[in-house]
Amino acid sequence: TGKFTFDPGFTSTASCESKITFIDGNEGVLLYRGYPIEQLAEHSDSIETAYLLLHGELPTADECTDFRSSITYHTMVHEHFKQFFYGFRRDAHPMAVMCGAVGALSAFYHDSTDIHDPKHREVATHRMIAKIPTIAAMAYKYMVGQPFVHPRNDLHYTENFLRMCFSVPAEDYEVNKTLAAALDKIFILHMDHEQNASTSTVRLAGSSGANPFACIAAGIACLWGPSHGGANEAALRMLMEIGTPDRVGEYVKRAKDKDDPFRLMGFGHRVYKNYDPRAKVMQKACHEVLEAVGIQDPLLDVATKLEKIALEDDYFVEKKLYPNIDFYSGITLRALGFPTEMFTPLFALARTVGWIAQWQEMLEDPNQKIGRPRQIYTGAAKRDYVPLDAR
Ligand code: CMC
């Protein structure tokens, strides 16, 4: 039409300015506030990285202690909040439960819905980061039919989460430091990824002045799709379907067939056209976990063969399709003891940090206005209403 730029899928439209995350998709670079993801995954932890994403700088020792205690202070949910869970069918997918439960938080924390007060905004960010593990663990416990486990605030963020998931009345979960450290790494790797679909959803929802819990619920809903956060679940299901290394070729052939809608899950990325730097860190963490739990996972053989074939195949090379983070995270989470239904909730838990940091940055931007994309209208021209008996 000449009036608007047509950019389906927003492949070349910047929707905002941001100081949080930098990606160079051609070089395989991912930086949080300037720090390479590889260094943060190796040396930092989820709480420190969350502080970095929210505040722009690594915390001093005192700032870190204060932040940790504030997050710890907010881990509990109101007793009435449990009622929401009982309204779901016993086999409800935890992502469905999380969309509803997180949205419902706004009914419990009226002060956090006052988004114009910076102090209230800060409390809202802490509440969100603190309560999301509790909610994810509750969604898991509900799905497996076990009683909810209260948070234990003397434990590290990730250790507490593992305990809330895996403690049963007869036996308190004993935290394995290696496994907790691997999960913490997964959290760091997933925390932010600039303006992906779910983060853009959170910003768009927040641009109308909606409360933070409603915005994060919108992000969770968007993340659920198999082209986005649902890919780790889909990748593992695909590996299970392939089953044995000798069947890999057949699936690669299908992925290349233009008439077959099948895609190799865990391959390809909108932004990374060289390699996904998170996938490299994840691949290493995956092997560490498998060694720590002593599991010889046959799916790893399938994954290794698939990776090898795809990296050498002309189709994948030409289209620059590389394994992404979801390719390895599924196997790792499975070794940690999580069922596939929990993979995307774990992604949501980690991404909550990025979502809330981006939401905060947006509200603090003096140029912030409501998001309102335009369209190219392709429907019928103006015409007159036709009465029913004349159609
Ligand atoms: N298997 C086979 N072919 C593929 C794949 C794949 N996984 N991904 C892309 N292609 C082909 C696609 O058919 C198309 O071919 P052609 O040009 O002949 O039509 C070409 O590569 C470009 O694909 P596209 O869909 O236009 O690329 P995109 O940038 O829009 O899609 C993607 C990116 C991630 C949605 C896509 O690669 C995909 O569906 N991958 C599988 C799902 C997946 O692993 N998603 C996780 C993404 S990483 C996690 C996150 O950040 O959320």
**Ligand 1 pocket: which of 319, 322, 344, 355 to mutate (most atoms <8 Å of CB)?**
319
**Ligand 1 pocket: which of 26, 199, 202, 227 to mutate (most atoms <8 Å of CB)?**
227
Mean pLDDT of 311-332: 88
Q: How confident is the model at residue 127 (pLDDT cuts 50, 70, 90)?
A: very high
Each domain of the chain, given as residue ranges in start order, spans 231-336
Among this protein's residues, is 228 annotated catalytic?
A: no
For residue 84, report the distance from its CA to the centre of ligand 1, in Å. 36
- Which of left, alpha, beta for 2 (phi over 0: left; psi -120 to 50: alpha)? left
Interatomic CA distance for residues 332 and 348, integer angstroms: 17
pLDDT for 153 beyond 90: yes
Q: Are the beta carbons of 187 and 158 closer than 8 angstroms? A: yes
Report how far apart the first and last C-alpha atoms of the chain are (Å, whole number): 32
* Cα dihedral value 236, 189, 131, 356, nearest 10: -120
- What is the phi/psi pair of residue 32, to 5°? -100, 115
Mean pLDDT of the residues in the chain: 93
For residue 310, report the distance from its CA to the centre of ligand 1, in Å. 13
- Residue with the nearest Cα to atom 44 of ligand 1? 266
pLDDT for 113 beyond 90: no
Q: How confident is the model at residue 330 (pLDDT cuts 50, 70, 90)?
A: confident
For residue 268, report the distance from its CA to the centre of ligand 1, in Å. 5
Interatomic CA distance for residues 124 and 355, integer angstroms: 12
Atom number of ligand 1 nearest to Cα 255: 2
CB-based pocket (< 6 A), ligand 1: 193, 196, 227-229, 231, 255, 263-270, 319, 321, 324, 326
Which of 74, 192, 269, 276 is an active site residue?
269
Q: Give the tens place of pLDDT for each residue, 240-265.
A: 999 999 999 999 999 999 999 999 99
- Three-state DSSP class for residue 167: coil
ipTM of the complex: 0.91
Atom number of ligand 1 nearest to Cα 267: 7
From the number of C-beta atoms within 10 Å of its C-beta (0-12, 13-18, 19+), residue 120 rates as middle
Interatomic CA distance for residues 244 and 262, integer angstroms: 18
For residue 270, report the distance from its CA to the centre of ligand 1, in Å. 7
CATH of domain 231-336: 1.10.230.10
pLDDT for 1 beyond 60: no
Mean pLDDT of 217-245: 91
Collect all residues with Cβ–Cβ distance below 8 Å to 342 and sequence separation of at least 6. Answer: 94, 136, 140, 165, 333
Q: How confident is the model at residue 294 (pLDDT cuts 50, 70, 90)?
A: confident
pLDDT for 2 beyond 70: no
**Ligand 1 pocket: which of 224, 232, 263, 314 to mutate (most atoms <8 Å of CB)?**
263
- Residue with the nearest Cα to atom 15 of ligand 1? 319
